[in-house]
């Protein structure tokens, strides 16, 4: 989901940024309005932002293939807080990752925000609405909607990269190559995200149904299956292994093949002692925010109004 610096021609990067800027502004204004209506909504957004940061930065391995990738979580969070309010946390998280962790880039910040914070969430919201109309508004339907939202992010990335490299390679060739590179890794992780998404919604439906829209409140918590638990433990337990990130190996390989190798971030604060200190501060701050926010969210019924 992280298109790196240097992959897009400057004209493409500027165009995507021009599209993303008003969308981000629209999201920020929506957040300001939501906080005026219910001050307690700040708590859930703090929790969403911190968990989103961790989920999109944490490399989850697929051991058989020896590669890692990320889950998105923006699809399920969009169902919880709304499509409008999920855009600005996505932008904020991607900016931090570009500056302090060399993930993504500043010139690709616009398109990364659009794919992760707009397209993925809208795909899930739209599919969830359809599934509800046909009587599939249950846990399985939610899992399918979130799985589709995750995969749509990478599908969009493949389209964007194919267009960006079209002056040097056939777009369909790039598109197909990227999809084939991602599928073996991202499909299993999309299934993991679907399981995690249902778990998040069920936890909130049990502990804080007031934070959920009506369509999600019926998904009460049930005991997690052995297969699901094993899948979660396998993914989390192997995080430390030295596998190659699929973002770099697929996106980077496609760009390098036509002579447009990814470059270092325009502003990279991840290097040196100052960078290390800033990284620690960012991680500590987000960790504190996550703990405090989720303590309040799960601590009892609040006054937060549903979306």
Write down the pLDDT at residue 115: 97
Domain ranges of the chain: 10-298
pLDDT tens digit sequence for 27-52: 999 998 988 887 667 778 888 888 89
**Euclidean distance between CA atoms 177 and 250, whole angstroms:** 8
Question: What percent of the chain is modeled with pLDDT above 90?
Answer: 41
Confidence of residue 230 (pLDDT cuts 50, 70, 90): very low
Write down the pLDDT at residue 227: 45
**Euclidean distance between CA atoms 15 and 11, whole angstroms:** 6
Write down the pLDDT at residue 291: 60
Tell whether the model's pLDDT for residue 69 goes beyond 90.
no
From residue 71, how far is each of 59, 68, 209, 245, 271 by CA, in Å?
9, 10, 25, 13, 26
Residues paired with 61 in a beta bridge: 68
Q: Which residue has the higher pLDDT, 193 or 230?
A: 193
Nearest to 210 by CA among 80, 46, 122: 80
Which residues, at least 6 apart from 212, have a Cβ–Cβ distance to it below 8 Å? 80, 201, 204, 205, 306
Nearest to 153 by CA among 198, 111, 108, 201: 111
pLDDT tens digit sequence for 72-113: 999 999 999 999 999 999 999 999 888 888 888 899 999 999
Write down the pLDDT at residue 233: 44
Write down the pLDDT at residue 306: 45
Residues paired with 67 in a beta bridge: 62, 244
Write down the pLDDT at residue 260: 72
Q: Which residue has the higher pLDDT, 33 or 220?
A: 33
Confidence of residue 59 (pLDDT cuts 50, 70, 90): confident
- What's the order of all strands across the beta sheet hosting 67-69? 60-62, 67-69, 244-245
Confidence of residue 193 (pLDDT cuts 50, 70, 90): very high
pLDDT tens digit sequence for 3-18: 888 889 999 999 999 9
**Euclidean distance between CA atoms 198 and 147, whole angstroms:** 11
**Burial bucket for residue 214 (CB in 10 Å: 0-12, 13-18, 19+):** exposed
Q: Which residue has the higher pLDDT, 282 or 76?
A: 76
Tell whether the model's pLDDT for residue 256 goes beyond 80.
no
Tell whether the model's pLDDT for residue 300 goes beyond 60.
no
The whole-number average pLDDT for the span 203-219 is 87
Nearest to 153 by CA among 224, 239, 55: 55
The whole-number average pLDDT for the span 158-180 is 91
Indicate the average pLDDT of the chain: 82
Confidence of residue 151 (pLDDT cuts 50, 70, 90): very high
Confidence of residue 305 (pLDDT cuts 50, 70, 90): very low
From residue 192, how far is each of 148, 186, 277 by CA, in Å?
12, 10, 33
Write down the pLDDT at residue 134: 94
Q: Name the class of domain 10-298.
A: mainly alpha
70-105: b (≥16 Cβ within 10 Å) or e = bbbbbbbbbbbbbbbbbbbbbbbbbebbbbbbbbbb
């Amino acid at each position: 989901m992280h298109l790196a610096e240097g992959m897009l021609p400057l004209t493409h990067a500027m165009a995507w940024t021009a599209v993303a800027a008003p969308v981000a502004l629209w999201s920020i204004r929506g957040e300001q309005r939501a906080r005026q209506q219910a001050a307690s909504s700040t708590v859930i957004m703090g929790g969403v932002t911190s968990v989103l940061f961790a989920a999109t930065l944490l490399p989850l391995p697929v051991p058989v293939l020896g590669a890692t990738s990320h889950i998105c979580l923006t699809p399920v969070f969009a169902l919880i807080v709304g499509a409008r309010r999920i855009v600005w946390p996505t932008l904020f998280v991607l900016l931090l990752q570009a500056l302090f962790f060399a993930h993504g880039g500043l010139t690709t910040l616009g398109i990364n925000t659009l794919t992760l914070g707009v397209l993925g969430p809208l795909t899930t919201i739209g599919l969830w609405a359809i599934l509800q109309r046909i009587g599939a508004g249950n846990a399985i339907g939610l899992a399918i909607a979130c799985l589709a939202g995750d995969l749509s992010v990478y599908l969009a990335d493949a389209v964007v990269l194919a267009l960006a490299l079209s002056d040097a390679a056939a777009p369909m060739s790039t598109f197909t190559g990227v999809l084939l590179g991602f599928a073996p890794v991202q499909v299993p992780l999309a299934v993991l995200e679907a399981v995690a998404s249902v778990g998040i919604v069920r936890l909130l439906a049990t502990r804080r149904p007031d934070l959920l829209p009506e369509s999600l409140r019926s998904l009460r918590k049930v005991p997690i299956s052995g297969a699901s638990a094993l899948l979660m433990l396998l993914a989390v337990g192997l995080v430390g292994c030295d596998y190659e990130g699929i973002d770099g190996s697929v996106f980077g390989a496609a760009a390098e093949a036509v002579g447009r190798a990814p470059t270092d971030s325009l502003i990279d604060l991840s290097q040196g002692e100052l960078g290390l200190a800033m990284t620690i501060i960012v991680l500590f701050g987000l960790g504190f925010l996550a703990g405090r926010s989720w303590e309040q969210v799960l601590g009892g019924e609040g006054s937060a109004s549903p979306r």
